[in-house]
A = this chain, B = another copy of it.
């Protein structure tokens, strides 16, 4: 998250310009504005999921499994690859999803180390119940961007 509330004023950027020349001040300010805008959107998403006793990461893991075209179960390491988060965090989050019966462990395959996870019925309906608010926030962000 990028926490600077106020973007630098022109007076400030000119004070620091010697550090970033030849990049134009407007470019620097533009990037800062983008970082700030994205951080606020992410914050709103996190608040939305928290209000619904969920988390962005839990949601992303469910959607990643759901959106796969052919497979109906995904391997742990595939999930780790698609969600750009460290393995221990995925382990912990999947554990909580299992405890809530939103995911099911599928121990098929010859390799006894591998773990496959599929959405449960509750998992899928929970996911769908979260879609409207999620896409609403993304839509709002899209609007805010053009304005």
Interface residues of A in 52-67 (CB under 8 A from B): 56-57, 60, 64, 67
Total interface residues on A, CB under 8 Å, equals 48
A contacts with B: majority SS: helix
Interface hub of A20, A38, A67, A69 (most chain B Cβ within 10 A) = A38
The CA of A30 and the CA of B142, in the complex, are separated in Å by 8
The CA of A56 and the CA of B131, in the complex, are separated in Å by 33
Interface residues of A in 86-108 (CB under 8 A from B): none
A113 adjacent to chain B (CB < 8 Å)? no
The CA of A82 and the CA of B28, in the complex, are separated in Å by 19
Interface string of A39-63 (1 = CB under 8 A from B): 1011001000000000011001000
Q: Are A139 and B4 in contact (CB under 8 A)?
A: no
Q: Give the contacting residue for A139; candidates B27, B39, B84; CB below 8 A.
A: B27
Q: Are B4 and A82 in contact (CB under 8 A)?
A: yes
Q: Identify the A interface with B (CB < 8 A).
A: 1-6, 8, 11-12, 15-16, 19-20, 23, 27-28, 30-32, 34-35, 37-39, 41-42, 45, 56-57, 60, 64, 67, 69, 81-85, 128, 131-132, 135-136, 138-139, 141-142, 145
